[in-house]
Amino acid sequence: MSDGQIAVSGLTKRYKNLLAVDGLSFTVQSGRVTGFLGPNGAGKTTTLRMLLNLVTPTAGTATIGGSRYADLTDPVRTVGAVLEASAAHRGRTGRNHLRVLCAAAGLPDQRADEVLELVGLTPAAKRKFKGYSLGMRQRLGIAAAMLGDPKVLILDEPANGLDPEGIRWMRGFLQGLAKQGRTVLVSSHLLSEMELLADDIVIIAAGKLVRQGPVGEVLASMSTSAHVRVRTPQAEALTTALAGIPGTAVTPRADGTLLITGVEAPAVGKAALAAGVELHELTPERPDLEGVFLELTAGKAGIR
C-alpha cells in the first residue's frame, strides 16, 4: 500500500469572480493521517473535489498514486471519499443506498452488509435515510467510502455533527486505517480535533498554502511565539534577573504565574539559579494548533 500518495501541484480554480484555489501544491503520504486545515471558505472542499474529478481545475494537477482520479482503472477500490453528510435519497434505506453503489462499482452486494457492520450501522440498515441522525449519516458516508476497501481515504469535515462519542469513534477508526498503511486525508476547521487526530497537517487560507508538515514541526516552526510559564514566590527578583536577557518580556497572569516570552525555559532556569530565585514551576508552553492556526490565517478571512 505504498502507492497511495496524493500530490497536488499548482492547483488553481477560478470561478467567475473568485479565485477559490490559488496555485496550491502539497503532498500527502500514506500510512499517516493528514489534516487539511483552513478557515471556512479557504478552498478546502473545492480542492478535494478537484482531486476527485468532480470539479474541473482551471490549472494545475491533482493525482492519487500518480494518476488523475478520472484515469484510475478501479476508482472505488483505490479511493474512498466522504464529501457530504446528507448524500443519499431520503426515501431509500441505508443498505439499498450502498447496494446501488455496489452495482455501479461491480462489487458483490454483501460488501454493503460488511461495511454497515464496520461502521456499526447494521441495526439501522433497513431504515430509510430520512430517519437517520446526522451521526448515522456520517457513518453511512464512511461505509460507502469503505465499500471498495480503498488504500486512500478522503474525508471532508467528517466530524461535523458528531457527538463526542462519535468523534472519538471516528478518531480511532481513521488512525486505525492509517496504521494499516492507508493514506488518510481529512479536512476540518476543528483545530483541536486535528491536533489529536493528525500526524501531518496542511494549512491553507484564501486558496493558498500557508504551511505543511508534521504537526510537531509546524508547531515548532512557530518558535517565535514560544513562551514559558513560571510559578515563583519571588516574582520581582526573577523579573529583575531576566531583564538582563534582551527581548524578554514578563507578564503576570491572573492565576499567580508569570508568562515569560522571548526566551527558552533553560535560560529562565539558569537565570533563576544564578539569582538564587526559588522556582515552583517552570513549564515551556508550545502554542497549541489553534493559536498557530489563527496566527497563520489571520487577516485572510473566510468570506471573500
Partner 1 sequence: MRLVKAEFRKLLTTNTWWLFALGAVVTWAATFALNALFAHFTLTQAPPTDMSPEDAANLAAVSDQVYQAANLYTSGQFCGLLFVVVLGILMVTNEFHHQTATATFLATPHRTSVISAKLGVASIIGVLFWLITTALDIPATMIFFQTENMSSHLGDSSVQRAILLNGLAYLLWGIFGVGIGVLMRSQIAATVTAVLAYVLGTAIVGFLFTLLSQSLDQPWIKDVQYALPSIASGLMVAGTDLPDQPSYWVGGVILVAWAVVTGAIGTLITRTRDIS
Is residue 159 within 8 Å of 167, Cβ to Cβ? Answer: yes
CB of residue 158 to partner 1, shortest distance in Å = 14
Q: What is the spatial distance between Cα 227 and Cα 233, in angstroms, rounded to a whole number? A: 20
**Contact with partner 1 (CB under 8 A) among 19, 60, 61, 92:** 92
116-122, long-range: CB within 8 Å, 24+ apart, which pairs?
A: 116/143, 118/143, 118/146, 119/143, 119/146, 119/173, 120/169, 121/94
- By DSSP bridging, strand 208-214 and strand 200-205 are antiparallel
Nearest-approach distance from CB 33 to partner 1, in angstroms: 21
- Which whole-number Å values give the CA distances from 5 to 60, 81, 111, 166, 188, in the listed order? 17, 15, 26, 28, 20
Site map for partner 1, 181-220, x if CB under 8 A? Answer: ----------------------------------------
Alpha carbon distance 274, 213 (integer Å): 39
- Pairing between β-strand 258-261 and β-strand 227-231 as defined by DSSP bridges: antiparallel
Please give the residues from 98 up to 127 whose contact with partner 1 meets the rule CB under 8 A.
Answer: 99-101, 103-106
Instruction: Give, as ranges, the residues between 7 and 46 that touch partner 1 (CB under 8 A).
Output: 45-46
Distance, in Å, from the CA atom of 213 to the CA atom of 210, rounded to the nearest integer, reads 11
Residue with smaller CB distance to partner 1, 77 or 286: 77
| Contacts with partner 1, 44-73, as mask; x by CB under 8 A | -xx--x--xxxxx------------xx-x-
Contact in structure between 96 and 129 (CB atoms under 8 Å): no
> Going residue by residue from 127 to 166, which x/- string records binding to partner 1, judged by CB under 8 A?
-----------------x----------------------
- Among all chains, which residue has been given the C-alpha cell 504565574? 257
Number of residues that bind partner 1 (CB under 8 A): 35
Nearer to partner 1, 69 or 293 (CB): 69
- With contacts defined by CB under 8 A, name the span among 76-84, 111-119, 186-194, 235-243 that binds partner 1: 76-84
Quick one: which of 4, 86, 13, 107 has its CA closest to 54?
Answer: 13
- The residue within the footprint of partner 1, chosen from 33, 81, 228, 258 (CB under 8 A), is 81
Contacts with partner 1, residue ranges (CB under 8 A): 45-46, 49, 52-56, 69-70, 72, 75-76, 79, 81, 83-84, 86-93, 96-97, 99-101, 103-106, 144
